[in-house]
Amino acid sequence: SLYPGRLLDTIGHILAPLKIIAFSILGITAVLWPAGTSIPAIELYQQIPFSSGFINGYLTMDTLGALVFGIVIVNAARSRGVVSVGLLTRYTVLAGLIAGLGLTLLYLSLFKLGSSSGILTPDAQNGAVILHAYVQHTLGGLGSVFLAALIFIACIVTAIGLTCACAEFFSQYLPLSYRALVFILGIFSMLVSNLGLTHLIQISIPVLTAIYPPCIVLVALSFTLRWWHNATRIMPPVMLVSLLFGILDAIKASPFEQLLPTWLQHLPMVEQGLAWLLPSVLVFIGVGLLDRLYGSSDKV
């Protein structure tokens, strides 16, 4: 992370291919040699499967990663002498498409693995327990070694890229050098990682529940920029509303739920953790009509 200009040499030529090979082996193994037949989903996923999967999908942090890794991709391309805006856009889009396809195939294989391997650990607290049980069941003693290597490679690649992106971003706004921020972020991450996966998930859910809605809105609205006379009338209000209601969802998902007024706990879709969705759509419709009404005028 201290040398972002070398990312293509370290990650692109060495670690990324190893990561792709390891995940390909795991995915193919999960599809061809399942541990058993699919078992019924737990009660929560039987009752509200979409919203449960949607909210727990926040934990992948794929959207957040896409937002920050764009900086890494652009800087890596620039380090190779690519300065054309058109080429930078093209490479970023291609990287996004390749990553999206790869993640889709990976998640489909993990869906298969989880649904057919739950019988190995009926009381598993998280997916990592099921994953470990599967590789041990299928690959024997070497399974644990393979899984440890896979997780190390996957995490080190993400950690390097994320540290680069965060240090690059915060160095523009804080009186700290890029190298200092790399060390600070590394030490902070090392301390947090020792909390354990289950505890990290418990802490992460309220935080991600608050910050994910505006990120989703940002990504969704970015595809509509050409529709509007003035995009600044659209993006900030909708993102602000999604953030405010996302914070309410986060409080409800935390131990401080009792602090919420009673009427807030009766908002549409609040039980599914999606209280932000309807207000965001309504504000989007409202500001969209205003944009059409005022046209290209600077008045709001």
pLDDT, position 238: 94
Return the structure tokens found at 222: 């970015």
CB 120 within 8 A of CB 129: no
Convert the pLDDT of each residue in 24-79 to its tens digit.
Answer: 998 899 888 888 787 777 777 778 788 788 888 887 878 887 777 777 777 777 87
pLDDT, position 243: 93
pLDDT, position 9: 67
- Rounded to whole angstroms, the Cα distance separating 90 from 118 reads 42
Helix segments in 118-170, DSSP class H: 127-139, 141-170
Convert the pLDDT of each residue in 238-289 to its tens digit.
Answer: 999 999 999 988 888 888 878 777 777 778 888 888 889 999 999 999 999 9
pLDDT, position 298: 56
Percent of the chain with pLDDT over 90: 15
Matching residue, tokens 């609205």 = 221
Helix (H) or strand (E) holding 212: helix 197-222
Comparing CA positions, the residue from 40, 99, 23, 20 lying closest to residue 65 is 99
Question: Once rounded to an integer, what is the mean pLDDT over residues 109-115?
Answer: 87
More confident residue, 62 or 297: 62
- The rounded mean pLDDT for the chain is 83
| pLDDT surpasses 80 at 228 | yes
pLDDT, position 99: 85
pLDDT band for position 204 (cuts 50, 70, 90): confident
Burial-class residue 88 by CB neighbours within 10 Å (0-12, 13-18, 19+): middle
Comparing CA positions, the residue from 120, 118, 122, 100 lying closest to residue 110 is 118
DSSP code, position 40: P
Most confident of 114-118, 134-138, 162-166, 199-203: 134-138
Burial-class residue 156 by CB neighbours within 10 Å (0-12, 13-18, 19+): middle
Return the structure tokens found at 187: 């030490």
pLDDT band for position 300 (cuts 50, 70, 90): low
Question: Once rounded to an integer, what is the mean pLDDT over residues 103-124?
Answer: 85
DSSP code, position 36: S
Three-state SS for 12? Answer: helix
Matching residue, tokens 């937002």 = 67
pLDDT band for position 167 (cuts 50, 70, 90): confident
pLDDT, position 299: 54
Question: Once rounded to an integer, what is the mean pLDDT over residues 212-216?
Answer: 92
